[in-house]
Each structure stands twice: as C-alpha cells, then as structure tokens.
Amino acid sequence: MNAPHDLLDVDHLLSDEERAIRDTARRFAQDQLAPHVAEWAETGELPARDIAKQMGGAGLLGMHLSGYGCAGVGPTAYGLASIELEAIDSGLRSLFSVQGSLAMYSIHAYGSEEQKQQWLPGMAAGDHVGAFGLTEPDHGSNPNGMRTRAKRDGADWVLNGAKMWITNGSVADVVVVWAQTDDGIRGFVVPTDTPGFSGRAIKHKMSMRASVTSELTFEDMRLPGSALLPGAEGLRGPLGALNEARFGIVFGTTGAARSCLETAIDYATTRTQFDKPIGAFQLTQGKLADMSVAHGTALLLSVHLGRLKEAGVLKPAQVSAGKLNNTRVALDIARTARTILGANGISGEYSVMRHANNLESVLTYEGTAEIHQLTIGRELTGLSAFA
C-alpha cells in the first residue's frame, strides 16, 4: 500500500538512484534537523553555519552542479532533496537552495575558473556560506531599477548600495552581488570580510523564523577587477540563477504540503469527538481527499518539470507555472490542515501553522505570484505586461 501522502504512487516514476538520494536526504533531515526546528522557529535563532556544515557533509550543497566537490546529481534528484528539507521547514530549504542554486550556481555558471576554484569546493563542503544579493529595499519585482552601483576606479571596482531580505546574508562568507554599472547590470563575487561591507539580521519576523534573513550595505567597498563575474551581463545572469532556485521551490513546497497532510491524517484518525475519530466524518474526509489530490498533482507536476529539465527543454514560463501552482497548493493545504486540527492547529507542538506562515513568504519570494502570472501571460500571448 502506498504511503498516505502518495495516493497517486508518484514514487513509481522515480529511478532507484533518485529514491536512494531522496531517502538519504530524508534521513538527514529527520535525524539532524527535525528534532530542533521547533525551537529554532520559536526563538528565531538558526545556527546556519553549523547546519551548512552538516548539509555539506551530507553532500547536499550544490548537489546538482558538477565538479569542484559537487555531486552532479540530476535535476529531479535535487528536487527530491528540496522536498525533504522543506518538509521540515521552508527556511532550511532556503538555506540549501540559496547556497546551491543562487550563490554557487552563479559562480559555477558565470564565474572565472579562479573564482570557481576559490569558492565552490568550500561552499560544497559547507565551510563557506554563500548569499545572493539582488533584492533591494525599494526594488524587488523590478530588479532592473536597482540602485546598488559599481563604478570603475582604475583596475578596481567601488561598490555602494544596499540589499534587503537576503537569506544567509549576515552569516555569509561570500555574497554574489548584482549592481548597476556603466555597462549595465553585472555580478560581483564579494567576500564579506571586505572593508565597507556590513550585514544586519532582520528580526521580528512572523514567517521564515528558522532562517537567517538580512539587510546588507556596501559603503565604498573596493573590489579587485577579478571580483567581476565574467559570464553574466544584464539581467540574464540573476534571472538564470533565480530560475534554478525557483525550480527547487516547485519541488520543495510539496514537502511542506506533505508534512501538513501527514499531520492532518494522523490527527484525524486519533482525535475523537462524538465518540468516534474526526476522520470518520464526511466533512473531514472531504478535506483530506481534496488535500491529497492537490498534493499528488503538484508532485506529479514537479517530476514532469524535472524530466523536462533533464532533457534540456524546460522553459522559464514552465518553471513559473510550477512555482505559481505549487506554492498556492501548499498554502491551501496548510490552511485546510489547520482547520482539521482546530485549536491545536495554532500550537507549536504541530508543524502546520509554522508551514502556513512560511509559505506566505514562499508565495511571494523569488517572484511573486503576480510576476509569475505575467510571465505565463507573456508566454501565452507574446505580449509583455511588465511595463
């Protein structure tokens, strides 16, 4: 019999290697992260550097990249690992994906050989923590309007500006920073021990509490010419990296949904009211059925997009469709699961409200739902509604 969360037997579509990688990631997440995540979320304090080291030791960081200490697994296997981490908490999957699919991917795809050799092996091992500086206090959905600027000064660059809502930022060793230059938007590999850099953790969050979220500032930072990412010009660079990370979100959100579904099923079959389990009532079974079907179809969509990526034919609009659909589905499942748990649904003893709060952020980061709608609309009509 299939596990309750796999009504449609999506597991049957995976290869033995993919299932083995998935199971390894699941054991790591359950053994190393699950026992502590409620406390991390409660206190709003995450030992991000220690966790990065553990993830690196498990071979998870940059696992979909090749060489430089990276495992080189396929896209679907990477997605399955994202599921297992987000089943614990979206913040933990964010640490994993920002490190591997934003910071490491940018260096791997656009960096010089010197930059790759300098940073990627240590990042894969978790010895170096990376961040990705694109979003600014006044510019999120429109990165083309960014105000962070890098100016040439002889052979060097001088960087000034600020970035906001940066995962891993205040604990990072290196940040891939995107800035305006006289030649358009360019990326820079910025060690955080460079004079002029400062990072401040953002406190009082109601969502993504088991995550380090930061504001970064750059004040007359002098960088050598070798800090420039040579292979990225214009928005193609940051958007390419974001597409990698969004692909992981497509999978990851189904992990949060699965956690909520499993919690709701367990609660419904053990909680008794009116002398029988609440799972015996038609209204509860209707909710569980709808949640299971929605989760299964989201997971099927994820695997399908994984196969397209493996074939080299995945389009950005298809990633947008996956991110738009699966974040919506996961958030709806979390909210419905909360109703099944009643008052217990808001208790930190259960994961449901924590997942729901996190998914409110996942819905809008790395492209809001509206931005993904417009991306899909442009694909359908050939007309851009962004400007």
Count other Cβ atoms within 10 Å, centred on residue 28. 21
| CA 323/CA 368 separation, integer angstroms | 9
Tokens of 88: 């614990």
| CA 94/CA 105 separation, integer angstroms | 14
| CA 187/CA 328 separation, integer angstroms | 32
Is position 366 annotated as part of the catalytic site?
yes
| CA 301/CA 306 separation, integer angstroms | 9
Backbone conformation region of residue 196, classed left if phi is above 0, alpha if psi is from -120 to 50, else beta: left
Of 18, 360, 366, 379, catalytic: 366
* Signed CA dihedral, 334, 339, 341, 344: sign only: positive
Contacts of 190 (CB under 8 A, 6+ apart): 133, 159, 174, 175, 176, 177, 197, 218, 221, 223, 227
| CA 330/CA 233 separation, integer angstroms | 35
How far apart are the two ends of the chain, measured CA to CA in Å? 52
Helix (H) or strand (E) holding 50: helix 48-57
| CA 138/CA 255 separation, integer angstroms | 32
Tokens of 137: 């206090």
Q: Annotated catalytic sites, by residue?
A: 366
